[in-house]
Amino acid sequence: MSFPYQIKSFEEYLEQYKISIEQPEKFWGGVAENFTWKKKWDKVLEWNFKEPRVRWFEGAKLNITENCLDRHLADKADQPAIIWEPNDPSQKNRILSYRELYISVCRFVQVLKNNGVRKGDRVCIYMPMIPELAIAVLACARMGAIHSVVFGGFSAQSIADRIEDAKCNIVITADGGNRGPKDIRLKSVIDEALQKTSYIQKVIVCKHLGNEVSMISGRDVWWHDELAKITQDEMPAETMDAEDMLFILYTSGSTGKPKGVVHSCAGYMIYTTYSFVNVFQYKPGDIYFCTADVGWITGHSYTIYGPLCAGATTIMFEGIPSFPDAGRFWDIVDKYKVNIFYTAPTAIRSLMGFGTEPLKNKSLQSLRVLGTVGEPINEEAWHWYDENIGRHRCPIVDTWWQTETGGIMISNLAGISHGKPSYATLPLPGIIPLLVDEKGHPVPGSDAGKDGVFRRDAKGDTVSGNLCIRFPWPSIIRTTYGDHERCRLNYFATYPDLYFTGDGALRDAEGNYRITGRVDDVLNVSGHRIGTAEVENAINMYPDVVESAVVGFPHDIKGQGIYAFVTLNRQHHVSGDDKTGVSKMVNQVIGAIAKPDKIQFVSGLPKTRSGKIMRRILRKIAEGEMENLGDISTLVDPTVVEEIKAGRL
């Protein structure tokens, strides 16, 4: 398979960018010609950002799994599609060829159907990083069921909330999974979740750890028992409309409960594949290793869908970077001769802490391209990655994107456009970023690519603003499940006719973007998005808590840590147990990933006369910027600020 749309030089990038902006329909229609369709589209694009309503490839019929699987059977049937590396290196790995993956998916479709799943149903998937997770995802897509994957680190309550919101009627899970030295008992978390919701009729349980689990008869069935009943190796793929929902993935925002981001079939397929092939400069035969869990969008787009559509060999790793030692990633790179390696800055920073000792005796010669995603990469981590992993031979692509964008939006293209430490650099073809000020006015000189030309030799200043996108791309969020108005309000209402990312950014004179971080009340902890409001709600469920305010603070490894200021009711005497209690409550309501790093009990929070908590002040204190807190005269009780400063952790 070749990729006629793969960009081969910087000049070609500029040229393609220009075409994509001037003639987007021609551009994306051209890319789409390289995919397998059951029926081609009538119209490439129809859109407005008011409602919003975005429709790509209207009239087309397809199934994404025919592109991920069937089309590769002719020439890649025996090529590994998925290489699975277990948590424990002494355990056996598994390699699934494209033929084997195809058959497994076809068989599992029948299992789903036998268990009552119909096209359009929502299926909750709560699994460890094992091939069955990819099989479950692809089987849903093949039969037109909508998957909602929930990361294995979320609590029973979080799962129950997501099940209810998406009205899922079936869960696919496993007895458990391994993460480093820990066993994660996924099935018991599901059992607990299902006590909180009555939507679920069936639970399919994959045996992985081999531990005892309780099976409720009539509700719970074993994956392998169900599979044993299947006799057919083939199962035709359901015909899907271009804009049919492909999946829901929950993500945190600045308000309320996590929202179900919806992606649809055709546009998502085109954009994840296009960006995979171009950003990483994938070459047929490459071994590709993305370390992200499939519970996050990176795993959806760049462990499963993008690489498989491109016919790549994708590695799924069950474990963590530091187990059994900090050389684990590099052993995997050497074991499979990985060419493209994609990870998160937080992983790099945590490995930096172990020094270069774990790198001794690692070859790393197979590596050609390195990537990062999830949060800004600080210069120190960038240089460490470049020097010690890439050995100055490998371009580093710093890929900025979001759950809502479906695929990489701003990034250098490996070996094609220049990287710049801590800069995501230039937009991909089809992406028109725009920086605006608080009032929504475009920041002069920030309108990259309006005419498809970057001002590479311009003498200008670096400008900053809130990062927006002016034009739809194929994998843009379509809606938030069950609540379209929420989608409009969150992304399209802040600035009329623009998609607002929630991020702040700088743009240098050459047109390179540097993402500076969220400008809303969303934290980025180890590359995971956490809404401060969500954490506060969880904390407030602890008995005796009156109220709380959660802010971020710079954290050496996680990027951002979680700092909680909490008031307890006056009769209550604060003890060490309260700290543990609050922490446990967050763990129970959201999951371990949202546990505060610091909890400070205070007698009051800084509030304005209208009762609004002044987060700006708390943020500064948490960051250690005790001087220069700005104007605090509007506070009802300015003395609490002194108390909070004095008690800072």
Site residues (vs ligand WT7, CB under 6 A): 251, 297-298, 373-376, 398-403, 424, 501-503, 515, 517-518, 524, 527, 529
Residue 47 DSSP SS3: strand
Q: 127 CB contacts (<8 Å, ≥6 apart)?
A: 133, 136, 149, 152, 172, 173, 174, 177, 186, 206, 294
CA distances from 497 to 49, 65, 330 (A): 5, 34, 45
Give 277's Cβ-side CA count (13 Å radius): 22
The residue among 107, 106, 152, 144 whose CA lies nearest residue 125 is 152
C-beta of 144 vs 419, nearer to ligand WT7: 419
Nearer to ligand WT7, 339 or 466 (CB): 466
Least distance to ligand WT7 from the beta carbon of 434, Å?
A: 16
Compare residues 243 and 503 and give the one whose CB is closer to ligand WT7. Answer: 503
Question: How many whole angstroms separate alpha carbon 488 and alpha carbon 295?
Answer: 25
Nearer to ligand WT7, 243 or 375 (CB): 375
Q: 250 vs 563, which CB is nearer to ligand WT7?
A: 250
**Based on CB atoms, which residue is closest to ligand WT7, 209 or 424?**
424
Q: How far is the CB of 426 from ligand WT7 (least distance, A)?
A: 13
Q: Report the distance separating Cα 213 and Cα 186, nearest Å.
A: 10
* Closest distance of CB 515 from ligand WT7, Å: 4
Given the DSSP bridges, would you call strands 528-531 and 522-525 parallel, antiparallel or unpaired? Answer: antiparallel
Residue 55 or 529: the one with the smaller Cβ distance to ligand WT7 is: 529
Q: Of 375 and 536, which has the nearer Cβ to ligand WT7?
A: 375
Closest contact distance (angstroms) between CB of 296 and ligand WT7 is 6
**Least distance in Å: CB of 375 to ligand WT7?**
5
Report the alpha-carbon distance of residue 420 to residue 363 in Å, rounded. 26
SS3 244: coil
Closest distance of CB 501 from ligand WT7, Å = 6
Residue 309, H or E segment: helix 306-309
Q: Give yes or no for a contact between 645 and 626, defined as CB atoms under 8 angstroms apart.
A: yes
> Could you tell me the smallest distance in angstroms from the CB atom of residue 407 to ligand WT7?
9
The residue type of 578 is: D
Element (H, E) at 32: helix 24-32
Length of the chain: 649
Alpha-carbon distance of 314 to 69, in angstroms, equals 13
- Phi and psi torsions of 457, nearest 5°: -115, 10
Nearer to ligand WT7, 97 or 158 (CB): 158
Task: Name the minimum Å distance from CB 292 to ligand WT7.
Answer: 7
Q: In 3D, which of 403, 624, 628 has the Cα closest to residue 503?
A: 403
Least gap, CB of 259 to ligand WT7 (angstroms): 11
Instruction: Using alpha carbons, list the distances in angstroms from residue 561 to 211, 453, 639.
Output: 34, 39, 26
Give the pair of three-digit tokens for residue 182.
């820990």
Residue 413: CB atoms within 10 A of its CB come to 29
The CA distance from 500 to 490, in Å, is: 8
Report cis status (omega within 30 of 0) of the bond before 80.
no
According to DSSP, residue 329 is labeled H
Closest approach of ligand WT7 to the CB of residue 303, in Å: 12
Q: Are 519 and 615 in contact (CB under 8 A)?
A: no
Nearest residue (beta carbon) to ligand WT7? 403
Q: Which helix (H) or strand (E) holds 108?
A: helix 98-114
Q: Which is nearer to ligand WT7, 16 or 251 (CB)?
A: 251
CA 236 to CA 106: how far, in whole Å? 8
**Residue with smaller CB distance to ligand WT7, 45 or 279:** 279
| Minimum CB distance to ligand WT7, residue 298 (Å) | 5
Which residue number, 470 or 529, has a Cβ lying nearer to ligand WT7?
A: 529
- The least distance separating ligand WT7 from the CB of residue 288, rounded to whole angstroms, comes to 16
Rg, C-alpha atoms of the chain: 24
Minimal distance, residue 524 CB to ligand WT7, in Å: 5
Q: Which is nearer to ligand WT7, 56 or 500 (CB)?
A: 500
User: Hey, what are 170's tokens?
Assistant: 């079936």
The residue among 110, 167, 114, 170 whose CA lies nearest residue 142 is: 110
